[in-house]
Copies of this chain bind each other. A is one copy, B any other.
Amino acid sequence: MTAEGKMTVTLKDIAEEVGVSPATVSLAIRGRKAGKKSLSPGTVEAVLKAAKKLGYRPNMLAKNLASQSSMTIGVLLSSLVFGSESFLEGVNMVLGGEFTSLLSVYNRDAALERAEMEVLIGNRVAGIVAACSGDPENLQIYKDVSQTYNIPIVLYSRRMPGIKLPVVRADHFESTFKATRALQELGHKRIRYAGISFSKWIETHKLYVEGYEAAMRDAGLENEMRGAVKLGVKDWVKAPNVIAEAANILDTWAADRERATALLVDNDWLAYQVLDECRRRGIRVPQDLSLMSIGDYRFSALSFVDLSTMRVKGEHPMEMMVGIGTAELLRDLMAGGKWDGNDILLPVEPCMRTTTGRV
């Protein structure tokens, strides 16, 4: 559109136009003010004018290559599911201003996870936020990232066994502990927990179970505790599977000689499925069964859902809070900060609505 027909205008083009050297243009454009060196206002102005005129656009590839740095961060997700958008928004709120995210998704495939990590390394990202699979096969690449390439990395939701990397997550143990306690306060004694374990490398499920069991023991209810319903390792993201799990959970519940009066499940989406299944089976909630879960998805607050659930304290949904926390830590690390060695556990609190009632 401009007079020049040149495809892409470079620093050199500007240099020629203005009659200075490329180096000077480089300095002028980046506003080399603060440092020791400064350019004459006249030159700077001339350069800027020419840049505008020629439609100059810095080539970040060249810039990054030369400066050995980049304004890109890598975001590695295990999958794109409901909640991912919220997590990404959290990350974006904190880091979006300065950095752009390279989004990598490995769909719970450890080999793909490695490949995606290679891409992030290859692009020399300034930092990484990752939901690792935890598969020990991939330990080496996490070591490479943080040790060989010195790329700051923050894990979210779960740790990588074998290497001490900072983790930011909701407090899983407290989630089931407090939820169970909240149910107890409503008079429930026969409380069951049902959760899904994604993979044996991820400790989330274990922490949930521990929190539940601790609360039951504390209340002297170990006799009432038939243990958590153990669900298989599945990709529950796909609706059909979850529906099957909900049916499974209710079958187990119904088969009990002494049916539980309250059921605590893994996450809100699973709770929706259970609610759905209860409706089909004519099980009244909360009269016949109190239902509680973890996550407080936005839907749960709708009056026709009104699900009792655990939420992360703060003004945002759980996933976003985790995204914010993760990004904040990464921001600090990229700025040269040191990690104090402690995982960051976001505090949770119960949010009791109408799917739970007194016994």
- Could you tell me which A residues sit within 8 Å of B by CB distance? 1, 7-8, 55, 57-65, 70, 72, 75, 80-86, 88-89, 92, 96, 100-105, 116, 118-119, 121-124, 140, 143-144, 147-150, 239, 272-273, 275-276, 279-280, 298-299, 301-305
Contacts and interface: CB of A to CB of B under 8 A. Distances in A.
Contacts of A143: 1
Nearest to A83: B85
Given A82-B85, A82-B298, A275-B304, 7 more contacts: A57-B122, A60-B119, A61-B65, A61-B124, A88-B103, A304-B304, A305-B305
Contact of A92 (B105, B280, B301): B105
A149 B101 CA distance: 22
A28 B61 CA distance: 24
B80 A92 contact: yes
Contacts of A7: 148-150
Contacts of A83: 85
A197 B267 CA distance: 34
B57 A118 contact: yes
B298 A239 contact: yes
Contacts of A75: 103
What are the 7 closest A-B residue pairs judged by CB atoms, nearest first? Answer: A80-B89, A60-B122, A84-B85, A85-B85, A61-B65, A276-B303, A101-B103
Nearest to A74: B100
A272 B88 CA distance: 24
28 contacts: A1-B148, A8-B149, A55-B144, A58-B122, A59-B65, A59-B122, A60-B119, A61-B61, A61-B64, A61-B65, A61-B70, A65-B65, A72-B102, A75-B103, A80-B88, A81-B85, A82-B82, A84-B88, A85-B88, A89-B105, A92-B105, A96-B105, A100-B103, A101-B102, A272-B299, A276-B303, A279-B303, A299-B299
A236 to B, nearest CB: 13
Contacts of A148: 1, 7-8, 55
A84 B273 CA distance: 22
A80 B273 CA distance: 25
Contacts of A305: 304-305
